[in-house]
Amino acid sequence: MDYLILLKPLIGALIGYSTNWLAIKMLFKPHTEVRIGKIRLPFTPGVIPRERGRIAKSLGGAVGERLLTKEVISKELLNEGVINQIKAYITKDLLGEPRSLKEIMETVLGDEYPIVVNKIGKGIALTIEDKIRSKDTKEMLYRTIKEYLAGRLSYNTALDTVLPSTVWINLEFILENHKEQICDYIISQVRQPQVEDKVNIIVGELIHEKVGALGAMFLNSKDVTASILDYIEKTLQEEDVQKTLIHVIIKSANEVMVNPISEILALRQYEELLEGATVGIVKSAYELIDKISLKDMITSMIYPILEQKILLTAHERDQIESKIEMLYVGFVENNIDTFLKNFEVAKIVEKEVNDFSVMDIERLIFTIVDKELNAITWFGALLGFVMGIVYIFI
């Protein structure tokens, strides 16, 4: 009789333990539905496998709408510790020691550094080329050059005040060393048929004027012309004459150069010269640009600049930290809505849960609440044991 009294609480405890243990197991198992023929056994699959889609959606909604809200994420992103870590990373890890921009960029970009630098060089070159070739730039360049030339070479300016003295020294040297060629050129021009004909006409007119028609009968203008040209050619081949001619040319040039341009050229000629010089300079400038690879040139200039060491003072570091904090806080405040719109927490959680296998979900839950589930099982045993004792006294 005593054994029967003890047996009832033990049976109650076993029943309580078994029912709770089975209920917990039925949350997950079986993982798939069980069928006998066309009939599906009730309670298969387990509650969680059967309702996984709804659970995932509810869990995602709870996390996205109640846990990771805009306010929570903003608060965490703008946490003083996070801001201090960002500032410390830049001002200490990146700029704490004297380092070059190259070293900083290599730390941040790694193997992408040369690619980024080339892109920067190419981008700057394209921007400069587009700007240079724009209509506004061409007009500005044309206007600037023309204004400069007009100011430097005004209509009332003497040429000797514009051209450097070395020009005349070089000119004298060139003329002295090419006096024979100059005289040969003059002779060749004098021997041109049209020139000889012109001289012959002039000689004929002079003969008629000086000796009259009768004297002209005894003087052949062509012979006189030939004699004059032969004499000129012979004379120009003499070294003393060549030196004298060069001296006269230089002296004449010097006399011309002290005069203002207005006494050398008509206003229209001056304006045409100014226009032609401006157009020529602009054209030459763009031809030079076409021959230059701006990308290679700018990239080659960027590398030495990036290799220069940067040493920040305490004041500069404080300014950078202040600017970083301002930019970071502004970025978070202005972009948190866009961030959350693109980073849909609820859908991400739902997707990840649905991608878990039932085994992974079961293992995850038991990892988190294993002790609590065991406590529930044993609580069922305790409750059954107490009910068994109560049943004895009923």
Query: What is the reported pTM?
Result: 0.42
Q: Residue 378's closest CA among 75, 18, 57, 7?
A: 18
Q: Which two tokens stand for residue 156?
A: 């009332």
Taking only the tens place, the pLDDT of each residue in 164-216 is 667 667 777 888 888 888 888 888 888 888 888 888 888 777 777 776 666 65
> For residues 311 and 236, what is the distance between their CA atoms, to the nearest angstrom?
74
CA distance 205 to 366: 132
Written as six digits, the tokens of 113 are 């550094």
Chain centroid to Cα 54, Å, comes to: 49
Question: Are 2 and 378 within 8 A, CB to CB?
Answer: no
292 in Cβ contact with 284 (< 8 Å): no
As beta bridge partners, residue 40 has 35
Q: Is 288 exposed, middle or buried (0-12, 13-18, 19+ CB in 10 A)?
A: exposed
Cα–Cα distance for residue pair 362/48, rounded to 1 Å? 9
Nearest by Cα to 299 from 100, 106, 99, 123: 123
3-class SS of residue 8: helix
Locate tokens 């070059």: which residue? 100
Token pair of 133 as six digits: 């070739």
What burial letters (b/e) apply to 196-227, b meaning 16+ CB within 10 Å?
Answer: beebbeebbeebeeeeeeeebeeeebeebbee
pLDDT over 70, % of the chain:
92
Q: Dig out the tokens for 191 from the structure.
A: 């021997």
**Counting beta carbons within 10 angstroms of the beta carbon of residue 280, is it exposed (0 to 12), middle (13 to 18) or buried (19 or more)?**
exposed
The pLDDT value given to residue 213: 63
The SS3 assignment for 310 reads strand
- Rounded to whole angstroms, the Cα distance separating 153 from 147 reads 10
Give 144's pLDDT tier (boundaries 50, 70, 90). very high
Q: Looking at 45-49, 90-94, 249-253, 366-370, which range is the least confident one?
A: 90-94
pLDDT tops 60 at residue 128: yes
Least confident of 13-22, 32-41, 203-212, 330-339: 203-212
d(CA 352, CA 346): 10
Pseudo-torsion of CA 262, 265, 267, 272, nearest 10°? -140
